[in-house]
Structure 1
């Protein structure tokens, strides 16, 4: 099993046992309103299907979704993932944490470890991420990771009946310090 550690966190590939705590945490309007692919309410049973898809992606090397766990208690806190495009040697970085874990540096800590995995272990050329412009906490994480702002796509996605602007950041392996 693939595992990574930081000072406070354990990251491992998502497993079926994560479905219940994942659904409990992600079924929060505050999380759904600023994430691109999470609906509210979160449909019961959807975590099982998500985990199965992400396990299949990991087997094929198309992506990795890591459960973010408290290192001591192994409490499930959220997910940091990579969706890989092998033909271009790049990946999209995405993340969410349960609201109880916001503003404590956990997401930056976990995302930094996954970014290191992408660029050093997987030897990807580029990792990029996007956030709604009205979610500065998300793109501040990208900035803390050393990612460079690449631009804003105006009215790029439709979320809850509203067209949202997305801001994009990326880091090339050659830029990693």
Structure 2
């Protein structure tokens, strides 16, 4: 795995895709995928339907300095795939911990893309964290499997608000010591 630093954020190279910082030019593809109800319903913060300006503001926050969250694009151009296949992020918490969040465009579901992206973040540990956390909705067992396959351990149940569902949704919470 090769790692480069770009805009104070590492570019993480894997065999079939790169995790790279967002670019303003990613807006169109992110809007297309994030506008898919199936994607929005499995995230905390993507509204559905997707209002104008949401992704533009998201990209601006991701490019800002300082920021609380580093966001990487799953870029498949090195293997003749889409420039944006999904996103993965690390949100800074206290005590040298982060929370992992990710979504994959439906066209790339069941390709182990999320698993490979999570594993790449664990292996490179770009923020030098001691622990990573993640939470997934109870009705998204595929994302839970991504985490357990990457060595995350189940901590317990919780609930959180989902913007697209306009409801509080039960979650499973996981952690991974690094």
What's the offset of the Cα at 1:62? 2.9
Report the Cα distance in structure 1 between the residues aligned to 2:40 and 2:152, rounded to whole angstroms.
Answer: 24
Give the CA RMSD over aligned residues: 1.6
Report the Cα distance in structure 2 between the residues aligned to 1:101 and 1:161, rounded to whole angstroms.
Answer: 26
CA-to-partner distance for each residue in 1:105-149, whole Å, 9 max, x for gaps? 01111111122233xx42211100001111101111111110000
Report the Cα distance in structure 1 between the residues aligned to 2:100 and 2:51, rounded to whole angstroms.
Answer: 24
3-state DSSP class of the match of 1:76? coil
Report the Cα distance in structure 1 between the residues aligned to 2:23 and 2:46, rounded to whole angstroms.
Answer: 19
Alignment of 1:1-150 (within 5 A): 1=6, 2-56=10-64, 59-60=65-66, 62-70=68-76, 71-73=78-80, 75-85=83-93, 87-118=94-125, 121-150=126-155
Report the Cα distance in structure 1 between the residues aligned to 2:26 and 2:75, rounded to whole angstroms.
Answer: 10
- For structure 2, the residue ranges without an aligned partner over 5 or more in a row are 1-5
Q: When the two structures are superposed, what TM-score results if normalisation uses the length of structure 1?
A: 0.87
- Could you tell me whether the CA contact under 8 Å between 2:45 and 2:162 is conserved in 1? no
- Could you tell me whether the CA contact under 8 Å between 1:5 and 1:11 is conserved in 2? yes
More helix by share: 1
- Could you tell me whether the CA contact under 8 Å between 1:90 and 1:125 is conserved in 2? yes
Determine the structure 2 residue equivalent to 1:157.
161
Q: When the two structures are superposed, what TM-score results if normalisation uses the length of structure 2?
A: 0.87
What's the offset of the Cα at 1:161? 4.0
- For structure 1, the residue ranges without an aligned partner over 5 or more in a row are none
